[in-house]
């Protein structure tokens, strides 16, 4: 990212996710600046991809898109169904730390709670177990969507 945030966000053309997170979560103004750059691009890319995939012969039975801040961004209204994958707070913290995410408290404070996401979603999948359990639950939900 060049300009307002400078070259330190993408040294050698590779985005430094930790540096971006540190800057984005430093203040509401910085986070809003980043969101104003990103969300329109995300929406345009999703629309383009959906159009491309829907034009295939035969058309796919379903398209699945992962949007980490779907409800927070207001993009949830553009989907036929939504799935909230939720986990207890301790599990979420451990997983975020294992992925090297910085500013976990700041990230969590700017997101809807797990309960709020579950209330807004069409389907809810608990993800406090293993990856295999998550895959099984998601496959079950996808099966109901295709029916």
Q: Kindly list the structural domains of the chain, giving each domain's residue range(s) and its CATH number in brackets, ordered by start.
A: 7-146 (3.40.50.300)
Predicted pLDDT of residue 110: 74
Is the pLDDT score of 1 beyond 50? Answer: no
- pLDDT tens for 10-59 read 667 787 777 777 777 778 888 888 888 888 999 999 999 999 999 999 98
Is the pLDDT score of 122 beyond 90? Answer: yes
Predicted pLDDT of residue 7: 59
Predicted pLDDT of residue 2: 45
Confidence of residue 147 (pLDDT cuts 50, 70, 90): low
Predicted pLDDT of residue 128: 87
Residue 122 tokens, joined: 């069409």
Is the pLDDT score of 85 beyond 90? Answer: yes
Predicted pLDDT of residue 141: 94
Predicted pLDDT of residue 102: 62
Residue 141 tokens, joined: 């939900």
How far CA 98 is from CA of 91, 102, 104, 111, in Å, comes to: 11, 10, 11, 19
Predicted pLDDT of residue 91: 85
pTM for this one? 0.75
Is the pLDDT score of 90 beyond 80? Answer: yes
Is the pLDDT score of 88 beyond 70? Answer: yes
């Amino acid at each position: 990212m060049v300009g307002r945030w400078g070259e330190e966000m993408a040294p050698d053309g590779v985005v430094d996710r930790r540096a971006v997170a540190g800057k984005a979560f430093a203040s509401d103004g910085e986070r809003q600046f980043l969101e104003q750059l990103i969300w329109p691009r995300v929406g345009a890319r999703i629309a383009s991809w959906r159009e491309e995939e829907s034009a295939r012969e035969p058309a796919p039975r379903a398209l699945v898109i992962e949007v980490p801040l779907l409800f927070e961004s207001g993009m949830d209204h553009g989907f036929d169904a939504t799935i909230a994958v939720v986990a207890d707070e301790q599990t979420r913290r451990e997983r975020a730390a294992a992925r090297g995410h910085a500013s976990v408290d700041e990230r969590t404070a700017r997101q809807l709670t797990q309960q709020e996401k579950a209330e807004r979603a069409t389907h809810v999948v608990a993800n406090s177990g293993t990856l295999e359990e998550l895959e099984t639950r998601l496959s079950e939900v996808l099966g109901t969507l295709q029916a």
